[in-house]
A = this chain, B = another copy of it.
Amino acid sequence: MGLWASPYSLRIKVALKIKGVDYEYVEEDMIRNKSQQIVNYNPVHKKVPVLIHTGKPIVESVVILEYIDETWKGNPLLPQDSYDRAQARFWAKFIDDQLTPTIRTALMRKGEIAKRATAEAEELLKLLENEIKSGNKLFHGEGVGFMDMVGIVIAYWVPAIQQAAGKQLLMRGSYPCICSWACRLLACSVVRENLPPHDKLVSFYGDRIAAVLTKTPKL
């Protein structure tokens, strides 16, 4: 169960494709009409993606990725070496817990909140840029890995949200290594073939930004 516009749902689609697992995809209208099934399957967060396997629900995209990797052993998503696995989990956590929420705030909010988030996002992007520059093989070394799957949100979603917001944050000139990693990632057929259309995503985020700005009191 997923939402077409969710980068977290896309991770699961790409992972199942890499593993060669057939699945039935159920689109959830998370914005206007959340189904009772989602609430039943994920009572804590009431969010997609939810993977139902052998009748049992698994939620939280990185938890699902680990589950998929353990359940279907072929074409491993995580590296084989324990230290590299730790590095992949670390950078995935960095992208999900720090970089993405900060970039979203920078792009989707206004005023002082956006200004502070922009400065913070620039620092975080510099850290990622330096890591890729240093030659870390996790960033799309051979094939699309766990960390790459998590990183699609930066590679494809951030440019769309930037366009919807009319702001520039992630630019090739400032972060050449991130942008070149993003290009390589999006060129992979298993990623490219599953991406939602760029224009549709820009329009979706245009609506989301308008909704957020209407709801948020001016600060």
A199–chain B nearest beta-carbon distance, Å: 33
A63 to B127, CA, bound (A): 19
- Inter-chain contact A67/B93, CB cutoff 8 Å: no
Binary interface encoding of chain A residues 81-109 relative to chain B, with 1 for a CB under 8 A from any of its CBs, else 0: 01101100110011001000000000000
Residues on the B chain within 8 Å of A64, using CB = 86
- In the complex with contacts A63-B89, A127-B44, A82-B94 CB distance below 8 A: no
- In the complex with contacts A67-B83, A67-B86, A94-B58 CB distance below 8 A: no
Please classify how large the interface on chain A is, using the bins under 10, 10 to 19, 20 to 34, 35 or more: 20 to 34
A71 interfacial contact with B, CB 8 Å: yes
Pick the contact of A71 from B63, B71, B82 — CB < 8 Å?
A: B82
Within the oligomer, what is the number of copies of this chain? 2
A60 interfacial contact with B, CB 8 Å: yes
- In the complex with contacts A86-B64, A86-B67, A94-B44 CB distance below 8 A: yes
A16-46 interface with B by 8 A CB criterion: 43-44
Main secondary structure of the interface of A (DSSP, over half): helix
Residues on the B chain within 8 Å of A94, using CB = 44
Residues on the B chain within 8 Å of A93, using CB = 60, 63
A56 interfacial contact with B, CB 8 Å: yes
Chain B: CB-nearest residue to A97: B97
Residues on the B chain within 8 Å of A54, using CB = 83
- Inter-chain contact A60/B127, CB cutoff 8 Å: no
Residues on the B chain within 8 Å of A112, using CB = none
Binary interface encoding of chain A residues 52-87 relative to chain B, with 1 for a CB under 8 A from any of its CBs, else 0: 011010111011101100110000000000110110
Residues on the B chain within 8 Å of A71, using CB = 82
- Inter-chain contact A63/B86, CB cutoff 8 Å: yes
A62 to B89, CA, bound (A): 9
Residues on the B chain within 8 Å of A62, using CB = 89
A201–chain B nearest beta-carbon distance, Å: 26
- Inter-chain contact A82/B70, CB cutoff 8 Å: yes
| Sampled A-B contacts (24; CB under 8 Å) | A44-B90, A44-B94, A44-B127, A53-B83, A56-B83, A58-B86, A58-B90, A60-B90, A60-B93, A62-B89, A63-B86, A63-B90, A63-B93, A64-B86, A66-B86, A66-B89, A67-B82, A67-B83, A67-B85, A67-B86, A70-B82, A70-B85, A71-B82, A97-B97
